[in-house]
Amino acid sequence: MKSFPPAKIRNVALVGHGGAGKTSLAEALLFCSGAINRHGRVEDGTTTTDFDPEEIKRGISLSMALAPLEHAGHKLNVLDVPGYADFVGDLYAALRVADLAVFVVSAVEGVEVQTEAAWRIAADLDVPRMIYLNKLDRERASFQRTLDDLREKFGVGVAPLELPIGEETAFHGVADLLSDTAFLYDGDSGKSNQGEIPDDMADLEHQVHDNLVEGIVVADDDLMERYLEGETIEPKELEETLAKGVAEASVFPVVCGAATKLIGVDRLADLICEIGPSPLDRPPVEVQAGDNTTEVACDPNGQPLAFVFRTVADPYVGKVSFLKVLSGTVKPDAQLSNSRTHQDERLHGLFTMRGKEQDNVPELPAGDIGAVAKLANTGTGDTLAPKGTPVVVPPIESPEPILSIAILPKSKGDEDKLMTGLHRLQDEDPALRVRRDDETHQTLLSGMGETHLSIVAERLSRKFGVEVETEDVKVPFRETITSEAEAEGKYKKQTGGHGQFGVAFLRVEPLERGQGFEFVDKIVGGAIPRQFIPAVEKGVAEAMSTGGVYGFPVVDVRATVFDGKFHSVDSSEMSFKMAGSLGFREAMAKAGPVLLEPISLLEVTVPLAYQGDVMGDLNSRRGRVQGTESAGVDEQTITALVPTSEILRYAIDLRSLTGGRGRFKVEHDHYDLMPSHLVDKVAKAREEENANA
C-alpha cells in the first residue's frame, strides 16, 4: 500500500453494541473500495477482521482489528472494535488513536447499552462522532424511532444527513439532505445511481433539509446572515461548516444504510472523506518531556514519534506491535528508543495489517497507522522516539478489572508455561491482570467478565499449549482475639546427647483494629537469657502467620513474655522459638478468638431507575450503604461497605440486575468481625481444604 499525506488519512473506529453490524460494515467498506473481492462471512465463518478461532466459534468480534482501504484518494484506517462489555479495553485503545468514531446503531434494536457506554467514553476523550444507522432493511426497523432514541440519549447535536428511501424489506436507497439528491441501490454491487427524491417523501425531505441547514449555519455568522437574507447556501459550504462541527465534536451526523445489502456504504465512505477529520484537524498530542508537558503537532517533517496502542502475541510470527505515528515519518529499519525502557528498537519492517494479512508499506507518515514485528522491549502504551529524546505519550486509560478467577495448569509441570503465556497475553490485553497471592497461594487472573476470562483460557491452550483449570478465589480471612489470656509454652525433647528445653510464659491481649503485632519483653532476673528472647518473638510471629484457631493468619495482638525457664545445656534458640509458638497457640485459644473478614468499599453507578433494586441487593449482601450522589443526568452513584466474600462475582450479578447499565469500582477498605453464625461455615471449608491439601 502506498503512502498518503496526513490530510488524506482518516483513522476511523467502528464502535457500538455487539450485534449492531460493525464487522459487516467493515467488510462492506472493504468490498466497496475494492480492497477485497467478496462480501460477508465465508463458509468457515471468517471475515477479514474476525479470523481468530475463538471469534469464528462464537461468531462475534473479540479483539480490535485493523482494516485499511483506499477510497476517493484517501486512506481509511478502519478499526473494527468489539461491542461487548468484556472487551471494553480495546475500545479505549481504539479511541486513543482514532480521529473519528462511527457509531453503528441497529435500526431494529435502537440505542443499546454498550452504545451508551461507548458514547460516554468517546465524549470523555473528546473524539468526533458519526452515526451509521444500520439494518434499515430488516423487519421492525424504524428510522424515526431510532433517531428519536439517539436524540434523547445523546442530545440535539445528533443531525440526520440522510433519510431512508423505502421501509424494512423495501429499503433501497437514501435521500441526501445536503444536496437534495436520491442515491438508489439495485443489486449487490454496492454502487448507487443518483436520481430525484421520490414524490411521496419530497415534502418531508425539504422540511428536514431546511432544519439541517438551519442547524449548520448557526455555527457560522457569515453563513447565518446570508441564509437569513434568503440566499441559498451551496452544499460545499455547508459541508465545510459541518466538517468543522464534526471535528469539534459538537455535531454528530446520522447516515442511513444496510451493511449486508451494501446500501449507503459508499455514501458513508464519501462522507468520512468529506467531513471526517484528518489527523491534522485534531488537537496536538500532549506529551511529557521530563518534568514539562509539551504539545506535538501532526507534522510529517518533524521528529519521528510513534505510540504503540496494541500488541498481538503470535506464536509463529512473534510479537506484532500496532502503532500510530504522531509526528515525523517512520521508515523501515529506523532506530528509535523506547521512552519507558530506554532500550533501542530497530523497526526492521513496516507493514499494515488487513485483518491477519500483512501488506508492506514504504513509510508511515505522521497520522498514519501501521505495524512492526519483533520489538523485543516494547509493549502496549509505550512511546518510540529518537534516542536522547525522552518524550512520553500518556498511556492508554485501561478500565480496572471487575472479575477475578484463580487459575492453575492441569499438568503439574506446566506452571512456568502458564505464567509465560499469561504474561504474553497480558502484553496483548492491558485490561487483563495477573498476580500471585502469596497468602492464598493462588494465581489470580482478573478481567472484564466471564467471557473475557474464558477467551484467555482458550488462547492459553491454542497459542501456548497450556490446558488450565479454574477454581474459586479464596477470601483472605484473618483472626484476632477479644480478651486477655495467659499460657505456658513448654518445649522439652530428650534425644541422645543434648536435648531441647525451653519454657516461655506468655500473655496475649487484643490491639486496636489495624495495629498488627506488638511483642513486649517483661523478663526480669534472667528467667530467659537475653539471647533467647528474639527466638520467642520469632516463634510467636510464625504461629500468627501460619494460622490461629481457624487456620487463618492472626492480627492485632500484643504478646508479652513475662517469665520462663531454661537449661544451661539443653536450651537453644530452637527450643525457645518452639516454646513461643506453643505458648501463643494455647493463650490464643483461651482469649476469645474471632474471625475477621475483609470489607470492600464499593462505588456503584446506575441509572436512577435501578437505584432501589441495587440498594436492596447490597443490603442482602450484608452491605452498609454510606451514601448516594448524583452522577450526571439520570444516574446515581451508591457508596457502600460490603464484605468482600459477598461480591466476588458482583460484575455478573450487577450486569444481570441492570441490563448491563451499571458499573462499579471496588477497593479493599478494612477488616471487621464476621457474624458468629457464618464463622462455622468458613471454618468447615478451611478444614476440608487442609484435609485435601
* DSSP calls for 110-158: BS-HHHHHHHHHHHHTT--EEEEEE-TTSTT--HHHHHHHHHHHH-TTE
- Pick from 493, 490, 492: which is nearest to 503 by CA? 490
Please give the pLDDT value at position 55: 82
Dig out the grid coordinates for 91 from the structure: 475500545
The residue ranges of DSSP E strands in 410-552, in sequence order, are 433-437, 442-447, 468-471, 478-481, 485-493, 500-510, 517-521
Please give the pLDDT value at position 385: 93
Provide CATH code, domain 8-281: 3.40.50.300
DSSP code at position 62 = -
The tens digit of pLDDT for each residue in 232-272 reads 878 888 888 899 999 999 999 999 999 999 999 999 999 99
pLDDT lower than 70: segments of the chain: 40-45, 315-317, 495-497, 693
146-153 contacts at long range (C-beta below 8 A, 24 or more positions apart): 146/105, 146/106, 146/107, 146/110, 146/111, 147/254, 149/110, 149/111, 150/105, 150/111, 150/254, 153/111, 153/116, 153/119
Q: How many Å apart are CA 686 and CA 688, to the nearest integer?
A: 5
Q: What is the CA radius of gyration of the chain?
A: 32
Dig out the grid coordinates for 230 from the structure: 434568503
DSSP code at position 405 = E
Distinct helix (H) and strand (E) counts, the chain: 16, 37
SS3 430: coil
* Sequence ranges of the chain with CATH classification 3.30.70.870: 403-471
Distances from the Cα of 637 to the Cα of 451, 562, 689, angstroms: 26, 53, 38
Contact 566, 503 (CB under 8 A): yes
SS3 667: strand
Chain-centroid distance of CA 242 in Å reads: 33
Asked whether the CA dihedral 202, 207, 212, 218 is positive or negative, the reply is positive
State which fold the 403-471 domain adopts. Alpha-Beta Plaits (3.30.70)
Contact 475, 115 (CB under 8 A): no
**What phi, psi does 545 have (nearest 5°)?**
-75, -30
Contact 169, 243 (CB under 8 A): no
The continuous run of DSSP H or E covering 80 comes out as strand 74-80
Contact 595, 548 (CB under 8 A): no
Strand partners, 602: 640, 666
Strand ranges of the sheet holding 500-510, from the earlier edge strand across to the other edge: 485-493, 500-510, 557-565, 517-521
Helix axes 650-658, 611-620, angle to 10 degrees: 150
How many Å is the maximal CA-CA distance in the chain? 115
CATH architecture of 596-678: 2-Layer Sandwich (3.30)
Q: What is the DSSP string of 469-484?
A: EEEPPPP--EEEESS-
Asked whether the CA dihedral 444, 449, 454, 457 is positive or negative, the reply is negative
Helix axes 202-217, 221-228, angle to 10 degrees: 140
Helices (H), 53-142: 53-58, 88-97, 113-124
- Pick from 586, 579, 585, 578: which is nearest to 565 by CA? 579
Helices (H), 195-255: 202-217, 221-228, 235-247
The tens digit of pLDDT for each residue in 415-460 reads 888 998 898 888 888 889 999 988 888 999 999 999 999 999 998 8
**What phi, psi does 263 have (nearest 5°)?**
-95, 125
* Sequence ranges of the chain with CATH classification 2.40.30.10: 285-392
CATH superfamily of 285-392: Translation factors (2.40.30.10)
Please give the pLDDT value at position 693: 61
- Pick from 626, 648, 650: which is nearest to 637 by CA? 626
State which fold the 478-591 domain adopts. Ribosomal Protein S5; domain 2 (3.30.230)
Asked whether the CA dihedral 586, 589, 595, 596 is positive or negative, the reply is negative
First to last CA, the chain: 59
* Sequence ranges of the chain with CATH classification 3.30.230.10: 478-591
Contact 604, 640 (CB under 8 A): yes
